Amino acid sequence: MTQSTKNTHLLVYPFSGSGHIIPLLDLTHLLLDRGLTITIVVITANLSLIEPLVSSYPTSLHKLLFPEPEISPAPHPLIGKVISSQKLFQPIVKWFETHPSPPVAIVSDFFLGWTNELANHLGIRRIVFSPSGALGSSIFHALWRDVGEINARNDNGDENFVVSFTEIPNVPELKWWQLSLSHFYKKGDPDMESFRDGMMANMKSWGIIYNTFEEMEGVYIDHIQKQVGHDRVWAIGPLLPDEHGPLVSTGRGGSSAVSPDDLFRWLDRKSDDSVVYICFGSRFTLSEKQMSSLASALELSKVNFILCVKASDSSFIPSGFIDRVGDRGFIVKGWAPQLAILRNRAVGSFVTHCGWNSTLEGVAAGVMMMTWSMGADQYANAKLLVDQLGVGLRVCEGGPESVPDPGKLAQLLDESSSVDRPERVKVKELSQAATKAVKDGTSRRDLDMFTRLLSEL
- Going from the C-alpha of 274 to that of each of 277, 296, 345, 391, 449, the distances in angstroms are 10, 19, 9, 17, 41
Predicted pLDDT of residue 250: 47
pLDDT tens sequence across 427-456:
999 999 999 999 999 999 999 999 999 999
Are residues 215 and 283 located together in one domain of the fold? Answer: no
Judge whether 64 and 38 are in contact, CB under 8 Å: no
Are residues 313 and 203 located together in one domain of the fold? Answer: no
Question: Does residue 286 belong to any structural domain of this protein?
Answer: yes
How far is the C-alpha of 390 from the C-alpha of 397, rounded, in Å? 17
Are residues 272 and 348 located together in one domain of the fold? Answer: yes
Are residues 231 and 343 located together in one domain of the fold? Answer: no
Residue 147 makes CB contacts below 8 A (sequence gap 6+) with 182, 185, 196
List, for the chain, all residue ranges whose pLDDT scores fall below the cut of 50: 1-3, 246-250
Are residues 93 and 209 located together in one domain of the fold? Answer: yes
Are residues 187 and 317 located together in one domain of the fold? Answer: no
How far is the C-alpha of 310 from the C-alpha of 285, rounded, in Å? 7
Question: Does residue 66 belong to any structural domain of this protein?
Answer: yes
Question: Does residue 168 belong to any structural domain of this protein?
Answer: no
How far is the C-alpha of 349 from the C-alpha of 207, rounded, in Å? 35
User: Which neighbouring-strand residues pair with 43?
Assistant: 66
Residue 389 maps to which CATH number? Answer: 3.40.50.2000
Whole-prediction pTM: 0.92
Are residues 421 and 363 located together in one domain of the fold? Answer: yes
Predicted pLDDT of residue 443: 97
Closest of 201, 235, 57, 27 to residue 115, by C-alpha: 201
- Going from the C-alpha of 58 to that of each of 21, 39, 61, 212, the distances in angstroms are 19, 11, 6, 29
Are residues 121 and 19 located together in one domain of the fold? Answer: yes
Are residues 324 and 373 located together in one domain of the fold? Answer: yes
Question: Does residue 248 belong to any structural domain of this protein?
Answer: no
Predicted pLDDT of residue 1: 45
Domain count, the chain: 2
Question: Does residue 3 belong to any structural domain of this protein?
Answer: no
Question: Does residue 148 belong to any structural domain of this protein?
Answer: no
Are residues 353 and 298 located together in one domain of the fold? Answer: yes
Domain that holds residue 353: 255-434
How far is the C-alpha of 267 from the C-alpha of 137, rounded, in Å? 36
Closest of 5, 121, 14, 22 to residue 360, by C-alpha: 22
Question: Does residue 19 belong to any structural domain of this protein?
Answer: yes
Judge whether 279 and 310 are in contact, CB under 8 Å: no
pLDDT tens sequence across 37-56:
999 999 988 888 899 899 99
Judge whether 454 and 30 are in contact, CB under 8 Å: no
Are residues 216 and 274 located together in one domain of the fold? Answer: no
- Going from the C-alpha of 117 to that of each of 88, 202, 330, the distances in angstroms are 13, 10, 49
Are residues 95 and 199 located together in one domain of the fold? Answer: yes
Predicted pLDDT of residue 251: 54
Question: Does residue 162 belong to any structural domain of this protein?
Answer: no
